[in-house]
Amino acid sequence: MKVSLELGQLIEVDIGPIAHGGHCVARHEGQVIFVRHALPNERVVVEVTSLAKSFARGDAVRIIQSSPDRVNAPCRYAGNCGGCDFQHVSISAQRTLKAAVITEQFHRLAKIEIAVDVEEMANEFDEEGRGLHWRTRVAFLADDEGRLGLRRNHSHDLVRIESCLIAVPSIATTQALAHRWPPGSVVQVTVSNTGDEVVIVKNEAGGQEILGAPQVDQTVLGRTFRVAADGFWQVHPAAPKVLSEAVIDSLSPVHGDHGLDLYAGAGLFTGALLSRIGTTGRIDLVESSTPGIADAKVNFAHSANVTIHHGEVLRMLEGMKRRGGVDIAVLDPPRAGAGAKVLRVLCALTPRRIAYVACDPAALARDTAYLRDLGYFLVDIRAFDLFPMTHHVECVATFEPVLDAG
């Protein structure tokens, strides 16, 4: 149906279910409108903020009938700053909404009915479990006067901020927020779990300056990883340990296993697997980014049974196919997921188990359907609340081949 709503128009609607992406679905005279800052079963006034061919987007600007799950946002920038979209939702209801999205995505994209609990994460900086103080990395932007802020919802405009409640305390109170920076620069502040702190300033011309050490140390399950200050690392303080343990539980590695760590970054999951496969086992680690590979080479310099491959997963797997199968595989692709081509070559290597770490339930559900077509079935899925106050959620799914009864 064509959208006849207008930008800025105010409409009163009943809010329907949560959808992927953190907004709720509503209808106005038959037209679909995706509404931010609302909750299912509320009646709200929505301001139309953008129009697409077959739907509109809007923001709830007045709540006429409120959900019992609605709370006063703990952050004074909520609703304005684009960093969080669930500040108006009680922390337990946030997890219920994320679980509903996972179930809906699997129903729609994989044609599989699943129920999952989104697990609450322990956080030493947030002992009351309010969903605050968990970001160990924040990229701020400097406005025309050089003051830091974060982007407004769906906009290039900045909201100037003095502190960020979802950042860990050392970032929330960082001196960087009081400092004036070159206008237009991105100022990324990172702290590691060993106390290293780095500020990277990227200017509009593409140059960058690193204030602090260019690498930080991160300790997980007794192993220390070197990670480039600008390289990938899991953001929630609990994530590296929780995900490593979930991957071990998923794959049940044993001595002598040959494993794959695909989209490996600095090698977080290789580190976890090494403790289980012994010296008779071996791991092929695959990563495309140069900083990630440089870190992996340092992190496994003394592990003769880890082979590091610098390149695209698809090309590396195609090369491996000619050299025989593998026992287990973990993959942790970017938001877009692994896709059919990668999964086809991976399944041809006949791992007995695959652990798929996913930050987007839609990509995971789509890839679950591909895996089923390739003979690998979903046998378990867990979900972790690693991004409280936002709609984001991390999953670890386990797949096993269907054995031919004949």
Ligand X SMILES: C[S@@+](CC[C@H](N)C(=O)[O-])C[C@H]1O[C@@H](n2cnc3c(N)ncnc32)[C@H](O)[C@@H]1O
Buried residues in 298-321 as b, exposed as e (16+ CB within 10 A): ebbeebeebebbbeebbebbeebe
Tokens of 23: 């907004």
387 lines the binding site for ligand X (CB under 6 A) = no
Strand, coil or helix: what is 272?
A: helix
Of 12-20, 69-77, 209-217, 281-289, the window that binds ligand X (rule: CB under 6 A) is: 281-289
CA separation, residue 220 to residues 2, 19, 211 (Å): 52, 34, 25
Q: How many residues bind ligand X (CB under 6 A)?
A: 17
Judged by CB under 6 A, the chain residues 290 through 349 that form the site for ligand X are 292, 312-313, 332, 334
265 lines the binding site for ligand X (CB under 6 A) = yes
| Nearer residue to ligand X within complex by CB, 264 or 393 | 264
- Give, as one character, the DSSP assignment of residue 177: G
Pick the binder of ligand X from 34, 106, 134, 269 (CB under 6 A): 269
Judged by CB under 6 A, the chain residues 215 through 254 that form the site for ligand X are 232-234
Nearest-CA neighbor of 234 among 277, 295, 193?
193
Which amino acid appears at position 378 of this protein?
L
| Nearer residue to ligand X within complex by CB, 94 or 299 | 299
39 lines the binding site for ligand X (CB under 6 A) = no
| Nearer residue to ligand X within complex by CB, 193 or 289 | 289
Question: Residue 164 catalytic?
Answer: no
Q: Cβ of residue 396: shortest distance to ligand X, in angstroms?
A: 11
Cα 132 versus chain centre, distance: 17
| Nearer residue to ligand X within complex by CB, 153 or 218 | 218
Tokens of 87: 């500040």
| Nearer residue to ligand X within complex by CB, 176 or 293 | 293
Cα 17 versus chain centre, distance: 22
Q: Which residues contact 19 (CB under 8 A, 6 or more apart)?
A: 25, 34, 101, 104
- Give, as one character, the DSSP assignment of residue 402: P
Of 61-69, 92-100, 176-184, 284-292, the window that binds ligand X (rule: CB under 6 A) is: 284-292
Q: Cβ of residue 206: shortest distance to ligand X, in angstroms?
A: 19
| Nearer residue to ligand X within complex by CB, 289 or 398 | 289
Pick the binder of ligand X from 118, 268, 326, 329 (CB under 6 A): 268
- The answer to whether the CB of 287 falls within 8 A of the CB of 296 is yes
Q: Cβ of residue 12: shortest distance to ligand X, in angstroms?
A: 41
- In DSSP terms, which residues pair with 258 in a beta bridge? 282
Of 91-99, 161-169, 179-187, 258-266, the window that binds ligand X (rule: CB under 6 A) is: 258-266
- Which residue blocks in 184-312 are alpha helix, DSSP H? 239-251, 268-277, 290-299
Neighbour tally for 364: CB within 10 Å: 27
289 lines the binding site for ligand X (CB under 6 A) = yes
Q: Cβ of residue 334: shortest distance to ligand X, in angstroms?
A: 5
- Residues with a catalytic annotation lie at 359
Residues near ligand X (CB under 6 A) are 232-234, 263-265, 268-269, 286-289, 292, 312-313, 332, 334
